[in-house]
């Protein structure tokens, strides 16, 4: 069963399982519980055991072409076991939530994961990752891992506009998208 929970509502047991999986997969841990209120977690669970998870990170104040947008970043997507369809169930639930609420969602992934996100129904862009820019003082920070973008647009047309205006950058208020 897929359970949706705000990050601040996760139980201690869920946090332990999530952090164990994130560290195993990415060598990272979640921030403290009180810093998770802008993440909506999707957990594939049976009783108290999490088989897969992902989160939508609400990112406000995204600026493109002089306009401000709110987007939702796909983050922390991990399955306990690969090849069982667990991750796909979670990602499709996340995508469905965005569709129901007419929200733009996007994520960054390595090229080797492209096929997975295509199978989940996402559009893919392989050439625009460097146009997402986080500024820290005078420093310009972009993704340096060679990741690609998977996305689902909404009625605001953010991704359509972004892909059409290939010379313009997107200013993001956090580097936690990649």
Residue 82 tokens read as: 């690969």
pLDDT digits (tens, 9 = 90+) for 46-102: 999 999 999 999 999 999 999 999 999 999 999 999 899 999 999 999 999 999 999
User: Rounded to whole angstroms, what are the CA distances from 90 to 54, 56, 75, 117?
Assistant: 7, 11, 12, 12
| DSSP tag of 155 | T
pTM score: 0.93
Q: CATH second-level architecture of 2-171?
A: 3-Layer(aba) Sandwich (3.40)
pLDDT digits (tens, 9 = 90+) for 12-41: 999 999 999 999 999 999 998 888 989 999
167: DSSP letter: T
Q: Where are the domains of the chain?
A: 2-171
């Amino acid at each position: 069963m897929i359970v949706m929970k705000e990050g601040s509502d996760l139980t201690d047991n869920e946090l332990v399982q999530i952090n164990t999986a994130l560290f195993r997969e990415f060598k990272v841990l979640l921030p403290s519980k009180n810093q998770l209120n802008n993440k909506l977690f999707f957990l594939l669970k049976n009783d108290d055991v999490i088989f897969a998870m992902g989160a939508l990170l609400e990112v406000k104040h995204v600026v493109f072409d002089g306009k401000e947008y709110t987007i939702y970043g796909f983050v922390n997507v991990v399955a306990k076991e690969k090849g069982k369809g667990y991750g796909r169930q979670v990602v499709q639930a996340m995508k469905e939530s965005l569709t129901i609420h007419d929200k733009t969602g996007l994520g960054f992934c390595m090229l080797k994961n492209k096929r997975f996100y295509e199978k989940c129904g996402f559009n893919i862009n392989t050439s625009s990752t460097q146009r997402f820019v986080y500024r820290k003082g005078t420093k310009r920070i972009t993704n340096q891992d060679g990741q690609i973008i998977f996305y689902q647009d909404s009625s605001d047309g953010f991704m359509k506009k972004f892909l059409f205006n290939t010379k313009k950058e997107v200013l993001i208020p956090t580097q936690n998208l990649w």
